[in-house]
Amino acid sequence: MATSVDSVNDSSDFVKDYSCVACESKNIEISADVFCETCLKCFCQTCLYHHDQMFVNHVTYGRGESNKWPLTKTTEDLLLKCDVHNSKTLKMFCQDHSLLCCSDCLLVNHRQCTNVALISESIKNLSVDIRQLSNKIQVILADLNKFKRSQEASIHFVEGSYSEKLQEIREVRKKLNADLDGLENSTLKELDTIRSTLQTSLKKDVDNCSRLKDELQQLSEAVQGLCDKSKKDIEFIASRKCFDKILESESFLKENSVKVQSSIIFKANIDIDQYLTKQPSLGKILTLKMNPNQVLTVKRKSEYNVKISSDTSPTCSIKGICSLPSGHVIVADFRNKKLKLLDQSYNVSGHSDVADTPRDICPITSSEVAVTLGNTGVQFMSVSNGQLVKGRKLQLPHLANGITHHKGALYITSGQALYHYKLTGALVKMLYEDKSDIATVHRCAVSPTGDRIYVTNCQHKVLTLATDGSLLSTYTDPELSGPYGLHVTPIGQVIVAGFHSNTVIQMDREGRTKLATLASQKEGLSYPMSVCYNSNSHQIIVGMRESNKIIVMKLK
């Protein structure tokens, strides 16, 4: 096989394999520039001059005619040496097994074969298309490179997911510590209360005893002073006071004679220790197989009411939804300027009013979310003790519409542009812009690996962008009119809500093909605005405009 000299001209392999034979005989390694077909040798330009002086009629070829050059020694060794027995040369071909054989191969594995012949004989009956073979190799090389890049990206993704889950585990431990601290504080409070009660009672007894003792002591001294005084009236008064005080003291002693010494004991709740001892870990560690094109299938549909008595609007408009590892679901009610916290049964268990109409919502940690509030910026909220708690705010120089988060990167849309922010609120860069309409960059979602950002466009498109903002693909479909909210599952499945088409579809990872229509108007969809996959329950949640209900679809 002739190889191109130019393609490897500067490589060390070329210098070694196409060395000037004249220089090499002098232990000088210089790259050859010319091959002499007559001599079957390679020469550098200096030695070629002397060669041409002696052999005027020899035919030579320069690097530009690499197809006339012989195979390099490395190439010959690669092709002719047996892959199993490295010191042996391939000489035969076994047609029974379609395998090349050296002498050792023949002795070990092909002694019983009937169709074994020398390669020189076999090629008479076999045709080889080297160009087609080379093209096939290039295709496979491209596939291998693509697979390698994919696996390298997966390595980074595994590291990222490891860090995220490590943080979640630590937050679970932190929550358990907080719960145990709460139990400890409650127990200590009870201990303090009992101590205070006992101390108060005992101190009261001591005070009463001291009072009676002092009063009796005073009367005793007074009575002794009356001896030999012959004052009958005072003696009578003293006797009555002494009699009354003696009765009071005897009554006090009698009442308290049944009192015994008190001590405080603690009986530990062994159920807590026994329960924790029985637990093998804080949770299960599972491996999630990443197949972003695995088609979702709806098993059944349910509806849940999210309207509450404090709502100021007659209807709700759920523009954003997100689920948390705790099982809680948070919905953004645009009409009522509220975030509503739902429990695992999708009952409203809490709510929080916000400064402006909430547009979209995304998780930041296992207990914190970020909410876009239009012209008011981004509000961070956390779930603590089953309630929504407001955190910090980010003020932005543009409208805050769609939002998604990946490993500390916040991606926020303004309606006409996509921005990359840090969690601190520092702008990294504007990634993408389209001013042809008012909602060309509407909502966004990021892939689990962080290499793709999906954006809905009011011109009935879903855009797939690279993280540098370059456009990778544009998707349109008759069943996806007015794409609005979208979501990417933990394994990369892309789900999009069609506002005007009243549909929810699943799109492939590349953003080029529809994989399935998951729901339509016949399933009760009416202007769907938001969609979210709940990994806790393997369900898809859909929020709609001017509707007090959310639709929950259980998946197979």
pLDDT exceeds cutoff 70 at 61: yes
Span 246-256, pLDDT tens digits? 998 888 888 88
Q: From residue 162, how far is each of 341, 450, 451, 491 by CA, in Å?
A: 28, 15, 18, 15
pLDDT range class, residue 379, cuts 50, 70, 90: very high
Span 510-549, pLDDT tens digits? 999 999 999 999 999 999 999 999 999 999 999 999 999 9
What pLDDT, on the 0 to 100 scale, is given for residue 453?
98
- The ranges assigned to domains in the chain are 1-80, 162-278, 298-555
- For residue 415, what are the β-bridge partners? 441
Give the burial class of 103: count Cβ atoms within 10 A of its Cβ; 0-12 exposed, 13-18 middle, 19 or more buried: middle
Range of weakest confidence among 66-75, 83-92, 239-248, 512-521: 66-75
Mean pLDDT of the chain: 90
What pLDDT, on the 0 to 100 scale, is given for residue 171?
84
Span 178-187, pLDDT tens digits? 989 999 999 9
Taking the C-alpha atoms of residue 331 and residue 319, their distance in angstroms, rounded to an integer, is 8
**Greater model confidence, 240 or 553:** 553
What pLDDT, on the 0 to 100 scale, is given for residue 12?
40
pLDDT exceeds cutoff 50 at 206: yes
What pLDDT, on the 0 to 100 scale, is given for residue 229?
63
Mean pLDDT of 330-342: 97
Mean pLDDT of 338-344: 97
Q: Sheet containing 34-36: give its strands across.
A: 41-43, 34-36, 60-62
What pLDDT, on the 0 to 100 scale, is given for residue 287?
79
The structure tokens 């709609």 sit at 544
pLDDT winner (highest mean) among 57-71, 247-261, 432-446: 432-446
Mean pLDDT of 72-99: 86
What pLDDT, on the 0 to 100 scale, is given for residue 228?
64
What pLDDT, on the 0 to 100 scale, is given for residue 15?
38
Taking the C-alpha atoms of residue 251 and residue 307, their distance in angstroms, rounded to an integer, is 67
pLDDT exceeds cutoff 70 at 260: no
Cβ neighbours of residue 281 under 8 Å, at least 6 residues apart? none
pLDDT exceeds cutoff 50 at 13: no
pLDDT range class, residue 290, cuts 50, 70, 90: confident
Range of weakest confidence among 153-157, 189-193, 458-462, 514-518: 153-157
pLDDT range class, residue 289, cuts 50, 70, 90: confident
* DSSP-derived 3-state class of residue 328: coil
Fold of 298-555: Neuraminidase (2.120.10)
Report angle CA 109, 111, 112 to the nearest 5 degrees. Answer: 105
Span 407-424, pLDDT tens digits? 899 999 999 999 999 999
pLDDT range class, residue 282, cuts 50, 70, 90: confident
DSSP assignment string, 425-457: S-EEEEEEE--SSTTSB--EEE-TTSSEEEEEE
What pLDDT, on the 0 to 100 scale, is given for residue 155?
87
Report angle CA 106, 108, 110 to the nearest 5 degrees. Answer: 45
